[in-house]
Each structure stands twice: as structure tokens, then as C-alpha cells.
Amino acid sequence: MLQEFFRGFIRIHILHHAEEAPIYGLQMAGELARHGYENLSPGTLYPTLHGLEGAGYLVSQRTLDAGRWHRYYTLTPKGKEILRHVRTKLRELAGEVLEQRG
């Protein structure tokens, strides 16, 4: 069940970083591990990237980088739009859920 929640967090995280700069799978796996999503398998990450691309939020391009091929993902205008929408909802949710409790 926890994985169900994290799947959404991971998608948001991927879109956020793809907005800053093009990202590739292995780099994103490292970034997510840094945030504590350590047991994220390629079997989860790659389908997530493909799914986000299939939905039109990311676009990918194979690039030769220092002798190694990487598939770099970039945020599309549609991805920017959904990320803006998600940020609004996230701010609203965090405001309520993370509110200091007596």
C-alpha cells in the first residue's frame, strides 16, 4: 500500500527534475535513492518513465554522452502544465496535512 502512495511522489519528483534539466534513468534512480527511495528497481523506474512519456509529459532522446548512450527525458509543455497543477494541489494538501497539531 505504501508503494501506491510513493508511486505518485516518484512521478512528481521525476517531472520536477526533468523541468530543471534533461534526466536519464540511472541518474534519476540515484536521485530518488538520495531521497530515501532506495529499493526502487529498474523494473519500476523505467516503466514509470515510459508511462510519463506515453502520456505526453516527457519526451526522450538517445544521446551519446562521454562514450555511453543514455536516454534523456525532457519535460514537455503538457508536462509543465500538469506539474503546475500538481504543485497547486500539493501546496494545498501539505498546508492541511503538515499543519502543526496540538
Nearer to Zn ion, 19 or 31 (CB): 31
Residue 40 near residue 32, CB atoms below 8 Å: yes
d(CA 89, CA 43): 28
Nearer to Zn ion, 31 or 53 (CB): 31
Q: CB 61 → Zn ion: shortest distance, Å?
A: 22
Q: CB 100 → Zn ion: shortest distance, Å?
A: 25
Shortest-Cβ-distance residue relative to Zn ion: 31
What residue ranges bind Zn ion (CB under 5 A)?
31
Nearer to Zn ion, 14 or 82 (CB): 14
d(CA 61, CA 63): 6
The answer for residues whose C-beta is within 8 angstroms of residue 23's C-beta and 6 or more apart is 14, 17, 31, 72, 73
